[in-house]
Amino acid sequence: MMVTESCVISSFAGNGKKKGCPNVCQGGAYALRDRRDEDFPVATDQYCRNHILNSRDLDMAPYYKDLVRAGIAAIRIEGRGRSPKWLAEQVARYRRLCDGTETLVLGKEDQTVTRGHFFHGIL
């Protein structure tokens, strides 16, 4: 969802500064909790930036044809923290969509994913 230069983890569990940082981010899994009790994972990269991930997967596969019509030429699959098996399944799924061998319809399985930030933006 976003990237921040200010270390959220160090603000609470460290000294709040990059210089002399105790690297508390390396010791476990961290998340931010919103007013609806949804947890948004926080991942740190090698440059001490925090990547705030969505609480649910963003799944635009059912809207693939709409995205192509809108001129979208590339899709990024975020695989950070995922297993190779999960990533291979997602790549294969989108490959089938690109080839036209799979058509998706919205269904009950969509309860575990989100599309809200795509359609509504972030307030």
Tens of pLDDT, residues 20-58: 677 777 767 888 898 989 888 888 887 778 888 887 877
Whether the pLDDT of residue 82 is over 80: the answer is yes
Cβ burial 76-94 (10 Å sphere, 16+ → b, else e):
eeeeeeeeeeeeeebeebb
pLDDT attached to residue 46: 77
This model's pTM is above 0.95? no
Q: H-helix or E-strand containing 44?
A: strand 39-44
Other C-beta atoms closer than 10 Å to the C-beta of 53 total 20
**Maximal C-alpha separation, the chain:** 53
